[in-house]
Amino acid sequence: MYINFWYAAERSGKLAADAPIRVRMLSHEFVLFRDSKGKAHCLSDTCIHRGAALSGGKIKGDCVQCPYHGWQYNGDGRCVNIPSLGPEGRTKVPPRGQVDAYPTEERYGLIFVFLGDLPEQERPPIMPIPEWDKDGWRASAAMDYHWDANYERAVENGLDPAHNEFVHPTHGYSGEREGYKVNELRFEQHEHGFSFVHTFQAPPLKNWIMKRIRNYDGPLDVGTGHHGPNGLYTYIHLTPTKWFHQYVWETPVDEHYLRTFLVSLRNCIIPKNKWLLGIADKQTDKRNFAIAEQDRVVIEKLDPVCTPAERSTRELLMPADKAILLYRERLEQWDAKGWRIDADELKRMHAKRNVVYAIPSPARRESKTWVLDPVPLVEPKPAAQPLRAVGA
């Protein structure tokens, strides 16, 4: 798990104006709330007074109020009222009266939170959706689902061209087609990741709506890529002109549990009739969920749950796994920056049940007066030599 990236925290529609909610990401608890203007904010969910969960409190104007002793924190994480001090509680808050506050943006029907301390000009961007709000494209409402799995394993699954043949009946022939082989992967490097295009044989689609688009055997083009450690996008081109583009954010709740947020777009099956359009949306969402379930059945039973520490020597990898190796090389580059959370140390300290950490926020670059210590990070080391698969 890494700091200094944007993470999808919740669907925008789930955060009401009158109540905070708690979300867990990167093995830490956070509180989301809206101020009086409706802007979403994200804070560390630990009141620095006596450790209460701010998410169990109330909204007071532009602040979230602790349910234990009424301390109020604004969207910048500053405590602006300590009721036990009387009238002076609004003017004599100690300098350390602050919790970490994280940059927050709402896009694509989701609330994104930047969990890290980088200044704005140095932050990697939120994974973009170029087709959003473009004529000729239809976006389904954002979906989310939970897996008992490690987020890196889920990202690698999305980058794996060889699993389609066996995991997804609509994508392949379940290994029954003679002459099956993973074809050449055409790669392109990007600043925050990479993408590749893969052409493979796929059977006719069984869904009655999909049949109207593609009812034949033949080659299917799929483009896949990643953005940062937790973003995925997949371009499924059923025909030269009829496309489905999907964007996924894998948000690690902790090392062994993840929450997946999906935004799906299409430039086909967009009837003008609202009733028919609603049916098309529901069928698209149903199909997306079914495909995700096929993946979940496999991913939740991977052993080990997390990617092996020796990322290339504890698995027998093949040329078709080149995208997996490239993704792991990217992770090592972020390791070298010192952005990986020390999950082992974090678990060891949490086991004592007398310490809580905070993901460092950008304000820690300006102020040193904090009550909670920042989460322990793995000591940075130079990235290893590029990994290679057998036969690559």
What does the alpha-carbon distance between residue 65 and residue 212 come to, in Å, rounded to a whole number? 54
Predicted pLDDT at 388: 56
Q: Which residues contact 135 (CB under 8 A, 6 or more apart)?
A: none
At residue 100, the pLDDT reads 98
Quick one: pLDDT band at residue 45, thresholds 50, 70, 90? very high
Q: What is the mean pLDDT of residues 185-208?
A: 86
Q: Which of 56-60, 205-209, 311-315, 319-323 has the lowest mean pLDDT?
A: 205-209
Cβ atoms of residues 42 and 9 within 8 Å: yes
Give the Cα separation of 49 and 74 in Å (integer): 15
- The verdict on domain 138-323 having CATH code 2.40.50.140 is no
Domain boundaries, given as residue ranges, for the chain: 5-122, 138-323
Query: Which residues are paired to 247 by β-bridges?
Result: 233, 263
- 5-122 folds as Rieske Iron-sulfur Protein (2.102.10)
Better-scored residue on pLDDT, 231 or 89: 231
Query: Are the C-beta atoms of 388 and 325 separated by less than 8 Å?
Result: yes
- Picking from 253, 250, 232, 12, the residue whose alpha carbon sits closest to that of residue 110 is 12
Mean pLDDT of 173-196: 88
In this prediction, residue 389 has a pLDDT band, given cuts at 50, 70 and 90, of low
Mean pLDDT (whole number) for 150-160: 96
Euclidean distance between CA atoms 65 and 104, whole angstroms: 19
For the segment 336-349, what is each residue's pLDDT rounded down to a tens digit?
999 999 999 999 98
Better-predicted residue by pLDDT, 303 or 312: 303
Residue 157's pLDDT is 96
More confident site: 123 or 242: 123
**Cβ burial, residue 70 (10 Å; 0-12/13-18/19+):** middle
> For 353-358, what is the mean pLDDT?
90
